[in-house]
Structure 1
Amino acid sequence: MAKFKASFSMCMLALLTSLLLPLNAIAAGSDLYLSDSSAYFSTEYFVENIPVMIYATAGNDSNADLLGTIQFWNNTTGTQISSDQPISVLAGATDTVFVSWTPPAGTQQISITVYPWDYTGDDSSNNTIYRTVTVDYDTDGDGVGNNADTDDDNDGTPDYEDAFPLNSGEWIDTDGDGVGNNADTDDDNDSTLDTEDEMPTDYNETLDTDGDGVGDNADSDDDGDGIPDSEEVYTDPLDEDSDHDGISDSEDAFPLDSEEWADYDNDGVGNNADPDDDNDGLNDDEDQYATNKGPIIRIDKGFPIHLTGQTITIDATNSYDEDGQIGEFEWREGEETISTEGIYEMTSLESGKRTLTLTVADDQGETRTAEVDIRVYSKGFIISLGLFIIILLCLAFYIISRYSPRAKQAKPIRTEVVKAVKATKKAPAKKKKKA
């Protein structure tokens, strides 16, 4: 049918031209031809559904002007490209025509044929030329061929990571069965349907009790209660709250007793049954802070001897709170607040005892109070005390040296020596005998 239409169009064009052109132009018959260089394309890179221009140039070997038509065909699909293109070629010259072609993907063979109106003297062997082109697929229709496109199906997953680079509805095939995860009812092929599998892409896992992303087979704490499965002897390793009291086993002091979950003072009696939760000596009904231990006061008075005019530093910053933090300090002397810092410095110009009261509050507002006695001495008193101590030491040394056992032992020896010396002096000298 297409060939018939082409012949009919050519006849009608010939009739019209015969009425308009001189008879000698029609009558003169010779060769219209196409050479290998006669056809070319507007691009060397062909992409599916991206229009391309095809150009064809017909030559005239005769001394007369010739008329004819050129047809473009896609032999691969068996379809004509556009309509017949009329040509009017002057003697010894050429005429160029073109058509627009929207190529399908794949290898395409294009044929271009020139049909002269007058076949007299025409050489049919040079009337047709062929061109074979490869048209790149454009799966996602973005105008970029798949060879150049880094995401052929435009699904947001680069081709090098996409198990189905030409399917925008699939990109992962966990079990490698050729069915993408979106369509696969058992992604990891572990025989558990994805709708029932808490780890649908892990062949070795089906359950994730605590929902931490680690399957129970690999998880050392299946229920996520902070207690390793190997240590959950009485509690349920697959239930983070074995007694179902709303408190996780790892935070429940009594994980098997639904009536108890806290033991603030660690005395083995749960807070619900314990009349003194924090074991501070006050019953809970009398204790404003029943589950809060008050701060522990620690005071460092520095050097034990304080002199008048000397700066005395009293440090309470080592105070602490077992179940919280220290919030405030208040130093008082009498009824007057003298400092709100952890360290208090004072200077006393008079000797005597000064009593300070320290109140420490924790971050819950519970307070504890302690008194600090500071005794201040005058410098004269210290000097006198020092001299007195020196005198006592000297006296002690004298007594020790005077009445020590060694001194007593040495006295009889000295007495005997003295007596011997005296006896020697009193003895008469012996007379010498005459010869």
Structure 2
Amino acid sequence: PDDDNDGYQDDFDAFPLDSSEWNDNDEDLIGDNADPDDDNDGWDDADEESCGTNPSLVQSAPQDWDGDRICDVNDPDDDNDAWNDTVDAFPYDPNEWDDLDVDGLGSNSDPDDDGDGWSDDDELSICGTDPRDRLSVPADFDGDRICDNLDDDDDNDLVLDFDDAFPKDPTETKDTDGDGIGDGSDTDDDGDGWADSTEVVCQTSPISATEEPSDFDEDGTCDLIDPDDDNDGWTDLQDAFPFDSSEWEDRNSDGLGDNAHPLTIMDKMKLNPGVSIMAIGSVAAMLSGTLAFLFGRSRLKEQFDEDRGWDEEPEEEGGYYDEWE
């Protein structure tokens, strides 16, 4: 029988005397036709239908991750973090919504948002680069993972930048003469015109412009190694005056050069005793011969005069004297 004539036999009609109701799925004494939540799962039947779940099955309830009573199917922001699911890299994590470097870590917890190998803190607070731009990388000249802004030795040459003339050149640290060429490659560190290697040989400092090698003849060879300091053609070992280009001999050892003060005869005799004796003998022989000649001639003249009768004094006039005039 069907007392309410609703088409449902009374034995199967939860409401046999109500023609508008016949089923009470959740047994809450409200017929399903009037009950907004047939399965009593807390979700209205209309919502369940739009959410794609069974409104008559309590086990089939819509998913609502953020508990805002909007099922995830219909909720534009499932985790309720104010980021739409379409732009939220983590739609079910209210603490994350961005993953700039796509490494699976949200940018809020990722220490390196742009994945450039530099921590966000260092980039932002110390190195002055953008932690969210992979192309904005801190300068790190020596590659020691300490950006140059923070690194006190940029070229890692063990000389601190403030004391390093070339803070970005690991092969150079000093520039003694300030010519822009580091001492390591500069052939004249102090800029005094003398090569460092030459100064070492000449025993002067290659890093002191006030200390230059002595070069008397200015030939570019310091006196210490110059074989002819005055450049007069006589080596210093042979030169009695190694620093006087106008003199080189002092054969009489009087401290005066022979060019300006030539040797006297006595000097020459002292320097050549053997030759001097021979010379004296020759002079003596010459004088002896001359005297003998003169004496002999004198005697011959007397004899001649006697033979001619000229031994008497000539008369002043008319005598032989006049004939010789």
Q: TM-score, normalised by structure 2?
A: 0.31
User: Which of the two has higher C-alpha Rg?
Assistant: 2
Indicate the structure whose relative CO is greater, using CA pairs within 8 Å and at least 6 residues apart. 1
Is the strand fraction higher in 1 or 2?
Answer: 1
